[in-house]
Structure formats: structure tokens, C-alpha cells
Chain A
Amino acid sequence: MAQTVKATPIEKEQVVIDGVDISGHWNRMFEQRVIFNYTPEHLEEIAALPGGESLEWCYQCAKCIGVCPVDIVGDYGPRKIYRKVQTGTVLAEDSDLWLCTTCRNCLRVCPKEVDMIQIMPAVREVAVNKGTVPSELQKAFENTARYGNPLGENPRKRADWAKDAGVPVPIMGQVRRPVDILWYVSTYTSYHQRGKDAARAMARVFSALGVDWGILGAEEKDDGDSQRLAGEKGLFEMLAEQNIATFGKYAFNKLVVSGPHEYNAFKRFYPQLGGEYEVEHYTQFLRPFIPRLQEMMKKPLNVKVTFHDPCYLGRHNGEYDAPRDLLRAIPGGTLTEMGRCRENGYCCGGGGGGMWLDSFSRDYTTMRLSDRRVLEAVETGADVLAVCCPFEVSRFEDAVKSTGNAGRLVVKDIIELVDESMRGA
């Protein structure tokens, strides 16, 4: 019943009417203005998907819009999705489907518990099956399937960063003994230039603390959580199966992860597939060591620091204090909060597949979320934007440059700041 009548746009290169040059102007009403029909069938289709039930609960209060990180730089918003679908939009074929970063801020405030964290992956899975995935995301999926990481990096080089760590980095396949801590390094920490800096810092801090630790090295594969949220549930399950098998080969007491996405995967989703571990984000793991770290952190950094809450550590998993406790323990660092922090922290744009959709999103947003967040960090007058998610260093360093703030603000992982103070470098 939905009518999709479109008039032909009127475009002229050289038009002068009554002496007024209107060249290049055209009738903007080229899409049907009047809503001709409501097609609640599409709402019901989404509601029929496992995880899609809650979309049709929306009663248009619009609380989500005020906190949606995308709406502020574009026209996307959760309550709008409901209305668009109700008036005929097929979400699985619509650009809106890929703009949500699953940051969870809308769900935090939603009185009806409309859960985009479940709706988005459910509908994206439909798009994956239809083959209507944006090409750059598709590439990340393919890389993940082929190489075990979305970057398409050589899996054998996953632990290459370790060569320059300055301390021995025990690799489980080589040490052949049980360890206390299995550190899951993560893709971006392993391969990204600045991620590797954080990896080396972590190795040095573990070493200085005398932690009994090891890494998987080339055997480690991407956790797959963001691929799952981007609609590739099958790929996630494949990676989880592989990682669970690898974890199963070795004896360890606790998994410590570099990033919130891996934390989310291992803590909440791997158990559903048979992989149950004690998991800590590295800031949580290091928190009990703070007194000892303080003895070792000799060099005052003398910087003003602001901290970006990762969505998947904070809103998704409720940890706001561990990173801050570490930051406060560093000598010479003063922590200044951004207006939006903790529960209403602004998203960097990297979650839910956003990491692999920047070019796609550019057509639908006025600026990247990371750009906007960097402007908020600059507003605090901070010298350092501290992060503890492997997605963020790359995103925010780009954003510092693209917003013209190079030289004014640097982006550092918390572990780099700890290491820096310990090394006195």
C-alpha cells in the first residue's frame, strides 16, 4: 500500500527568471511530502526478530534524542527510527541502520526500555543476510573472517610489538606453564601504531609489578563483539569458538583485557557459548596495585588530564571509577571532567561497528563523534585526553588533527601515563 511516488527533480545549469539567476537551484520537494500511508507491518517485522521486540514500544517521548550522540551531529535518533519505520521505511535497507554506535545512552534514559542494543544487531543481521552492508564494514567482516582481525593484518605479526617492549613478553605457546594472568591484548593494541605503545607500556607495568602473566601472541583472534553488534552474529560465534578453544589450551587464573569491548564479550557473551572466565579490564586489575604503583611512579607528569569514559566499560558494564582511581594516583596529574562524563559520557563513535563506518557515516553527519568529543576535551583546558579503550587512541588522535588541535591536546592511554611516570622518561 505504501506509495513511493517521486517527482523528477528539476535541475537547470543556466536559468535566469525575472533577472534573478537561479542556476543550480532546483525544486527541493522532490520527495513526496504528504505521508500517504502508515505501514505498521514493518514495525511488526522488526518486532518478530529476536531482540527486535521493543522497537514498537516507543511512545515518542524523545528522551533518547537529548542524549543520542549521533543526533547532535546528524538527523538520526532512536525515536525517529520508530516513526520512520511506522511510516514505511524498511530499516534493513536504510542508512539509519548503520549510524547507531550502540553506546547505550538512549536505553539508559528510555522509560519504555526500547533497547537499541538488541534491535540494531537484530536488524543488521537481516541486512547482512540480504547483502546490504556498507562496503567498508563488509571489508572489516571479511578481514576478520580471513585474518582473525578486522584490519586485515598478518595474524603472525600480532605480537610484533613485543620486540620493543624492553621487557620479556611471555607467550603462552612458548612458556608452556600455567600463569596467573592471561592478558588478552586485543586487535588495535596489537597492530595500531599507538596501540602498540600502550601494549609495551602494559608489558613494562606488569613486569615491574612482578605479575605472573602471558599473552596468546599469534594465537589471539579478535573478540568479535563489535562485529556481533554490527550484525555479524555468525562471525562472532566463529571467533568466540576459536578464542574459547585457545583459552582452553592454557592454564590461567584470570583474563585481563586491554579494552572494554573485549571485556563486554568475555564477561557477558562468551559464557553463553561455553567460555566462562574471571575477567577484568586492566584498570580494574591494576586498581589494587595502586599503593605499589605510587611507590614506583616517581616522575610527576604535571599535566591537566581529562578522561573519556568508554561506553562499553561505563554504561554497558558499570565501571566508572577504576580508570579514575588510576589517573588520580599518577603524580602531577590533575583530573578535570568533561561536562558529559560517567553515565552520560559522549560516545567516540567507534562502537557497534562504527569503527569501520567512518566513511559511510560522513555522508549523514556534520562531524565525526570523535571530533565532537575532542572539542569537549579541549574545552576543559586539558593537556591530555586519557583513554582506556583501544579504539579511542586512533580515533581521537585523528580528531585532534582534524579539529585543528594538534599541539594543544595529546591522547594517551592511561597505561601509557602510568608507564611514563614509572619510567621517569
Chain B
Amino acid sequence: MSSHRVLIIGGGPAGLTAARHVSDLGFHATLIEKQAQLGGTPIASHYAALTHGFRDAEDAFRDLIHQVTDDKQIDVRLNSRVVGCEGRVGNFNVHVANGAGAETLDAGAIIVATGFEHFDPARETQIYNYYTYPDVITLADMELMLKSKTVTRRSNGALPERVCFIQCVGSRDRQIGNEYCSKVCCGVASKQAIEIKQLVPTAKLFIFYIDMRMYGYWENEIYWPAQEKYKVNYIKGIVTEVIQKGDKLLVRGEDTTMGRPMEVTMDLVVLSVGMEPSAGTKEIAHALQLKQNKYGFIEVPHESLDPTVTSTPGIFVAGAAAGPKDLDDTMSMAGLAALRAMAAVRGAN
């Protein structure tokens, strides 16, 4: 017998949105989340403000989470993970483990929304000394500071006079194996620079970049105000070394538009780490026997025209599980995945 259930794996932005849409259109959704809370990376990593629009991240996702948890047609399973799956479109049997044991759920279609994780600077090829110097931090570390509205040097608790961002850490790098652009870091760094300037108006801000990738409205809504209103200095040329010098950090690289080497001191260095497939995304690929691309994200055979379809009929993907995504794209993709999943369920019944 066929199942009418749409099973959604991952309780982050994509999974929550897909669940809501499935329910809105009258289908039953089951949302599987391995953590004890919903919200995914934006909540687990304490994001401060959404890059597009600067809305408080916790507020934004609280609404979304309540829409899902208050909905009787959505069955939310926290602390649960998918460990295996048999069957085919219209009639999957999904094995779900939780603290109490294991059960098998039937599902007509599955949406994978297992997201990404931040690149670990331990794998950098440059010498940024993230694990050595307390004042070298990542975008995610800075989000946590911004959320507490306190930007200070971790070494001595002082307000930073000079803060720089180093772009493309862990992205666009053949040696690291992440040849792709992580899409959001240019915008996130610029957004954070604005927030830092708002909190510490005396701070001088610098962003070292290869090329600024501020597609669409990020250009005029984030990049231009960061430069024009918040006096952020954009310097073309990536810093390749961070060295302790007294109580400052000496950053070294080339100032490419001046054609000269540069060595300047900073109080805080923020590494703009990119996206990699999350551990959950890799686990699910194995559990559902989905093809992954060379970087470990869920493979989407015809991404441009059919961005939610995976290698298995009836299993769809939404959000950063399929590769680097900003929230706007993630939400759109989640809606499409929900539609495709419901159509698959209906088609099989």
C-alpha cells in the first residue's frame, strides 16, 4: 500500500519550510531532526542577523519553528536520525533511530534538507593560526559575538581598533578540494563589518578579497552601504599569513591594486570560512544511497532546470545539502521540493 506521508530530513531553514508547505497543501509531513532543537545551523551556530535584510535571526526562525511545531499535520521527531531506507517512490520504508530505539516509518516521498557545515580552518593551506591565536576567529565565531552585542578581542577583552576579514577561506581552492564559491561569505563578511562598526564606531574595518561576489541586491543593500556609509575598506588581495607581533596580529599579503606587498597589524582577524557538506548530509547520502558530487554534497543531475531532483526518484533535496546556498535560494528550493514531493506522492497513489 502506498504512503501519503512526506518525510523531511533536517529541521533547518529548508526542512522547516518544506514541512510547512507540505502541510499547507493538506499533506502529512514528518520532520526528522537529529538535534534536540529545530532551526538548523542559523540557530545552532547563534547567527545574529540575516544577511539579507538584517532581521534578527532568532526572531525570524522562532516564527518559522512555531508554524511547524504548532501544526497538527506535522509530526516533528527530535533527537532522531535516519539510518536506512528501502522501497521506492510512493512506498519508502525509512528506518529512524532515536534514544529510545528504532522504528520504521512509511513515506511516499522524502526531502533531504541536511544542510552544510562551516569550513574548519584547520584544513587551510595558508597560515592563519586559527587554533593558535585567540584573536583569529571565523565568521561563525563573530556571529556569536554579534549576537551578544559584544565585539572584543578574545586575547585581552579589549575593544578592537582594527578588524579584518579574510575572504575565501576554504573555498575556491583546488588543494583543499573545495573548488566552488560558497556564495554567502562576501555578503556575510560585509554584513558583519557593518554590525561591528555599529557596535564599535571607532573600529577600522578591512576586507581582503579575491573578488567581491555580491550578486543581485547584496551589492546595493550590503556592499555599497558597508563601503560608503560604514567606511569599510575593501582591499583586493588575499592575506596569506597571520603572525603574532607583540599583542597585535600582523597580516601579510599583496595589495594587488597597488602592486606592493603589505604587512599591516590587526586586533581581530575574521576568517570568512565557506560551506562544506554537513556530517548529516554525508550520512544521509549513505543511508538513502544517494549519489554525492565530488565535494560530498547531494548530487543534483540537472541542477539549473530541476534543482531539487536527486539520483533516486521520489527523493528530493532542498537547501545547502545540495551545495552552497543563501537563505533566499534555500527557501525557494524548499518550496519547490515540497511541491515535487507532493506530486510524487499523488502520482504514486
Contact = CB atoms under 8 A, between A and B. Distances in A.
Given A83-B257, A87-B255, A38 B235 contact: yes
B27 interface: no
A34 B261 contact: yes
Interface residues of B, number: 21
A20 interface: no
Contacts of B261: 33-35
Contacts of B130: none
B259 to A, nearest CB: 10
Nearest to B236: A60
A85 to B, nearest CB: 11
A40 B236 contact: no
B206 A38 contact: yes
B58 interface: no
A377 B102 CA distance: 87
A36 B263 contact: yes
Interface string B258-276: 1011111100000000000
A99 B167 CA distance: 35
Interface in A77-127: 79, 83, 86-87, 112
Contacts of B224: 57, 112
B263 A34 contact: yes
A83 B233 CA distance: 10
A39 to B, nearest CB: 9
Contact of A35 (B228, B233, B264, B265): B264
A36 B262 CA distance: 6
Given A34-B263, A56-B227, A57-B227, A40 B233 contact: yes
Contacts of B233: 38, 40, 43, 86
A336 to B, nearest CB: 39
A337 interface: no
B61 interface: no
A289 interface: no
Nearest to B212: A59
Interface in B221-243: 223-224, 227-228, 231, 233-236
B95 interface: no
Contacts of B227: 56-57, 59
Interface string A28-57: 000001111110100110000000000011
Nearest to B162: A38
B153 interface: no
A35 B206 contact: no
A35 B204 contact: no
B207 to A, nearest CB: 11
Residue in A35, A43, A79, A112 with the greatest tally of chain B CB atoms within 10 Å: A35
Contact of B260 (A34, A57, A79): A34
B252 to A, nearest CB: 9
A87 B258 contact: yes
Contacts of A40: 204, 231, 233
A48 to B, nearest CB: 11
B264 A83 contact: no
A38 B264 CA distance: 7
A261 B262 CA distance: 43
Contacts of A86: 233
A194 to B, nearest CB: 43
Nearest to A34: B261
Contacts of B235: 38
B264 A37 contact: yes
A40 B261 CA distance: 18
A112 B231 CA distance: 15
Given A40-B204, A60-B236, A35 B255 contact: yes
B267 to A, nearest CB: 13
Nearest to B265: A37
A35 B260 contact: yes
Given A60-B257, A87-B255, A36 B264 contact: yes
Contacts of B262: 34-36
Interface string A369-395: 000000000000000000000000000
19 contacts: A33-B260, A34-B262, A35-B258, A35-B260, A35-B262, A36-B262, A37-B264, A37-B265, A38-B204, A38-B233, A38-B235, A40-B233, A43-B231, A44-B231, A59-B223, A60-B236, A83-B258, A87-B255, A87-B258
Interface of A: 33-38, 40, 43-44, 56-57, 59-60, 79, 83, 86-87, 112
Q: Which 8 A-B pairs have the closest CB atoms?
A: A35-B262, A34-B261, A57-B228, A35-B260, A40-B233, A35-B255, A37-B264, A60-B257
